A and B are shown apart, each in its own frame.
Chain A
Amino acid sequence: MRGTRLGDKLLHVYTWLVIVWLSSPIAVMILFGFNDKKSKSNTTWQGFTLRWYGELFDISDLTVALRNSLVIAAVSTIITVVIGTMLGLALGRHRFRGKGVTNFLIFAAISTPELVMGASLLSLFVSGNVPRDANTIIMAHVLFSLSFVVVTVRARIVTLDPSLEEAARDLGATAWGTFRQVTLPAIMPGVLAGAMLSFALSIDDYVVTSFVNGSTITFPLWIVGAVKTGIPPQVNVMGTLIFGIGVLIAIGNAVAARRRT
Chain B
Amino acid sequence: MRRLTPYLLALPSWMWLAIFLVVPMVAMASVSLQTGNAIDGFAMTFSFSNYGDAIGRYSTQLVRSLFYGAMATAAMLVIGYPVAYWIAFKGGRRKSVYLFLILLPFFVSFVLRTISWNFLLADNGILFGTLKDWGLLPDDFHVLATTFAVVGGLTYNFLPFMILPIYVSLERVDPRVVEAAQDLYATRTGAFRRVVLPLSLPGVFAGVLMTFVPATADPINAAILGGTSNTMIGNIIQTEYLTNLNYPTASALSFTLMAVLLVGIFIYARALGTENVLEAAAR
Contacts and interface: CB of A to CB of B under 8 A. Distances in A.
- Our verdict on whether A and B bind, yes or no, reads yes
B24 A87 contact: no
A243 interface: yes
Given A123-B31, A247-B107, A87 B113 contact: no
A113 B10 contact: no
Contact of A32 (B119, B188, B234): B119
Interface string B82-122: 11011100100000101011101111111111111101101
A94 interface: yes
Contacts of B119: 25, 28, 32, 43
B147 interface: no
A50 interface: no
| Chief secondary structure at chain A's binding surface | helix
B134 interface: no
* Category for how many chain B residues contact A: 35 or more
Interface string A4-21: 100010011011001101
Interface residues of A, number: 85
B254 interface: yes
Contact of B129 (A44, A112, A231): A44
Interface of A: 4, 8, 11-12, 14-15, 18-19, 21-26, 28-29, 32, 43-45, 82-84, 86-87, 89-91, 93-96, 98, 102-103, 105-109, 111-117, 119-124, 126-128, 139-140, 142-143, 146, 150, 175, 200, 203-204, 206-207, 210-211, 219-220, 223-224, 227, 231, 235-236, 239, 242-243, 246-247, 250, 254
Interface of B: 5-7, 9-10, 12-14, 16-17, 20-25, 27-28, 30-31, 79-80, 82-83, 85-87, 90, 96, 98, 100-102, 104-117, 119-120, 122, 124-126, 129, 156, 159-160, 188, 209, 213-214, 216-220, 223-224, 234, 237-238, 241-242, 247, 250-251, 254, 257-258, 261, 281-282
